[in-house]
Amino acid sequence: MKGIAFSVLFGAACIAAAPVSAQTCAAPATWHPGVAGTPDLSGTTCGHETGIISVCQNAAGAPARAFVASIFVAADVAAFTAIDFTGGAGYTISTYLVPQAGGCNNNAACTTVGDGSTSMHHGDIPPGTYYLIITGADFDTPGACGTFNAHSDSFLPVTLQAFSID
């Protein structure tokens, strides 16, 4: 009986210590920005996707380190109006939104781009499922990476339900 209990506890400890999987084109993180999901996505670009060489039909490069998330953008603007990005030390944050149907790593046309001073606006994004690629700028040192935060403003419009004058 003691051997079984030890095996169960040892197995649970091994599972708890297992490394978190990388956020890559093949296995992206899932993020639901806006009211129905979580407004923030935080992490690091270090240790994730290393195979992206160029994005936006060769309009921009990538320093070979990227965090990849799958996001769904609804037609309803109520989800969010903008996503803002903040990058940490060690690199200059650049973000690309690529339709998931075209594939993450095939140098498809970008739907929109963003960085530490440019937001992605809901009005620039047709409804659909996308890869959000968070990486360094093409002028960064190869392999440059660091922490990031993506924040959607979670816009929720208010509709007047009743009105009366007494």
> Is 5 part of any domain?
no
> Is 47 part of any domain?
yes
Which domain CATH number covers 28?
Answer: 2.60.120
Give residue 109's domain range: 22-152
Q: Write the pLDDT tens digit of every residue in 133-159.
A: 999 998 898 889 999 999 998 655 555
- For the chain, the first-to-last Cα distance in angstroms comes to 76
Answering whether pTM is above 0.75, one says yes
H/E segment holding residue 15: helix 2-16
| Total count of domains within the chain | 1
> What is the rounded CA–CA span in Å between residue 134 and residue 113?
10
Mean pLDDT of all residues in 116-135: 91
Say which residue the tokens 């935080």 belong to: 42
> What is the rounded CA–CA span in Å between residue 14 and residue 131?
32
- Residue 140 is classified by DSSP as S
pLDDT surpasses 70 at 15: no
> What is the rounded CA–CA span in Å between residue 2 and residue 8?
10
Structure tokens at 43: 């992490």
> Is 41 part of any domain?
yes
